[in-house]
Structure 1
Amino acid sequence: MFGECHAHLIMDGLNYKDAISIHKDHVNDEVIRKHLKAYEELGIVFVRDGGDALGVSERARKLAPEYGIDYRTPIFAIHKNGHYGSIVGKGFDTMKEYHVLLKEAKNKGADFIKIMTTGLLDFNNHGQITGTPLDRKEVCEMVHIAHEEGMAVMSHTNGIYGVQAAVEAGVDSVEHGNYIDPETIRELADSDSVWVPTLVTIRNLRGCGRYKESVLDPIIELAAKNLRLAYKYRAKVALGSDAGAYMVLHGKGLMDEYQAFMDILGESGDVRAWLADGEKRIQDTFRRPES
């Protein structure tokens, strides 16, 4: 069974605000155990979380061994104030403040660092990303500092500029990577960065009534085209569903993501080996540095 390379145990796939409120006063072990059980029942033994600001993923890592799960977390994600990211972490204004947050995460036992370099898909404007992406020089400095601290970097990034900046900075994984082009995929393939495209964050929205099919279909079609190119160019790619996002349930989200890959690429031993290699790179890279 493949592992889940992008999840958020603080979310439940149903209602973000309700899920967050459960942990507002104190982390709720019962809910965490429910989600971990969902992975255990499906034979998923590796989960890489994207972090949160309330300590849920930190607690989940402590409980996960009871369910036979190797659980990795950045503790919280780090974003620049005024840019997307407060939903899952803490913000900074200066690079000095960034370094302080990085040290805080590391001191709490983070397995890696997660940074937020762009916003989300703008569903009202196809091809556009919400907000302003971080400048490539700033991203490069953030990655450099993390690597100097011995920490791998998971980067929430969308769009051509954002992904190219992240790859050129040397991030260890690119999360989502929507709205990119063949040149960007070539750059990914030529790099050591692993791409985790989280296809079902959009595909699972079909039929839910939140967005029209005419809005979703072009996004889904472009993502499929880009995945085929990534496979053709032999970019490093791993399965991650963004479990906890709306309509992406823990455990089942990974099954949905796997099926999406098979629908697009066709099920074969070569495709499975390709994905296994990407996951191994994630497992080998995104681990707590030796003290």
Structure 2
Amino acid sequence: MYIDCHIHIALMGERTKEYRDRILMGDFFPLQEVLKKYKDKNILYLRDGGDRYGISLKARELGKEFGMVLKTPVYAFSKKGKYGNFLGIPISGMDDFNREFKNLLKLKPDHFKLIISGIVDFNYPDRVTEELNFAFDEIYYMIQKAKDKNLRVMVHANSSKAVQAAVKAGADTVEHGYFISKEELYLMAENDVIWVPTVSPLGNLIEKEDKKFKNQLENIRRIYLKHIENIKEAFELGIKVTVGSDAGTYGVDHADGFFNEIRHLKNTGLDEAKIMDKVFKNGIRLFL
């Protein structure tokens, strides 16, 4: 039995619009097909990143029929006008947050997701599109409000600043975590944070030599190798690393993404059996 701790069941790569439109029209067969694919590959525990359409909520319900557990934050919170608005609710400040958080609780989220940075910028070997989108006091406030409701907190964070803020504010998991230093690795180790490094979105592009990114592949390769280096050190430090494939995003297919991620993690030098053991033990904690 396997666990994927970071998927996007509302996304289907380049076919997202067609896939999503069918679901929103009440045709749940595409969603059932995705769940069946996971089940057929024995990936029975799924942790979603949320969406603004209620698709992951429906998937949670359907997953029970397949004997699976899908946990969802329902939707994510992000800074208005910054990255992540398509995954949920964009907020301008804490008044917005308080109002929307009350609405969220009515939908019974399994965890809380907060997006505090942008994404990897493939045009450069060392940049994210947005380094930090909230003030630390805001991040701390939102995370503690979620914890007051006994919700685990997953934080999308790329850059040293974003990962430091996430960990210091009380995040349970750091999602992605690109462009970090040893300082952030030590911080995650000290605070018993689970790291979900999502290597497949970059690693798969490199393996396929994706022509869509032919002018950026060298940057992508450099970013990937540095990330692998950080993950290797994380294993050595005893940081709780687990598998999150980012399945549903461009180039990462549902269910196959789990095995892509394991393959990429092997580039740390750790053998597959040890990786499987570690990522399962660390990942299952998020479902208990």
TM over 0.5: yes
Residues 77-96 of structure 1: pairs in structure 2 closer than 5 A: 77-96=76-95
User: What residue is the counterpart of 2:285 in the other structure?
Assistant: 281
Question: What is the deviation of 1:269?
Answer: 4.2
CA-atom RMSD, angstroms? 1.5
Question: What is the deviation of 1:257?
Answer: 0.6
**Mapped partners of 2:164, 2:284: distance in 1:** 23
User: What residue is the counterpart of 1:186 in the other structure?
Assistant: 186
Task: Calculate the TM-score normalised by the size of structure 1.
Answer: 0.92
Structure 1 runs not aligned, ≥5 long: 285-291
Question: What is the deviation of 1:230?
Answer: 0.3
**Mapped partners of 1:136, 1:125: distance in 2:** 26
User: What residue is the counterpart of 2:213 in the other structure?
Assistant: 211
Is structure 2 residue 58 aligned with structure 1 residue 59?
Answer: yes
**Mapped partners of 1:265, 1:104: distance in 2:** 45
User: What residue is the counterpart of 2:43 in the other structure?
Assistant: 44
* SS of residue in 1 equivalent to 2:129: coil
**Mapped partners of 2:26, 2:210: distance in 1:** 30
Change (3 A) 1:209 1:137: same
Question: What is the deviation of 1:189?
Answer: 1.0
Aligned residues of 2:242 and 2:282 also touching (Cα < 8 A): yes
Question: What is the deviation of 1:263?
Answer: 3.2
Count of equivalent residues: 283
Question: What is the deviation of 1:268?
Answer: 5.0
Structure 2 runs not aligned, ≥5 long: none
Task: Calculate the TM-score normalised by the size of structure 2.
Answer: 0.93
Percent identical across equivalent pairs? 30
Aligned residues of 1:4 and 1:47 also touching (Cα < 8 A): yes
What letter is aligned with 1:248? V
What letter is aligned with 1:84? Y
Question: What is the deviation of 1:15?
Answer: 3.4
Moved more, 268-277 or 205-214: 268-277
**Mapped partners of 1:144, 1:94: distance in 2:** 15
User: What residue is the counterpart of 1:199 in the other structure?
Assistant: 199
Moved more, 130-139 or 202-211: 130-139
User: What residue is the counterpart of 2:110 in the other structure?
Assistant: 111
Residues 24-39 of structure 1: pairs in structure 2 closer than 5 A: 25-39=24-38
What letter is aligned with 2:212? R
* SS of residue in 2 equivalent to 1:240: coil
* SS of residue in 2 equivalent to 1:175: strand
User: What residue is the counterpart of 1:288 in the other structure?
Assistant: none
* SS of residue in 2 equivalent to 1:14: helix
Is structure 2 residue 242 aligned with structure 1 residue 238?
Answer: yes
Moved more, 27-36 or 196-205: 27-36
**Mapped partners of 2:26, 2:223: distance in 1:** 35
Tell me which of 215, 223, 226 is aligned to 2:227: 223
Residues 74-153 of structure 1: pairs in structure 2 closer than 5 A: 74-133=73-132, 134-153=134-153
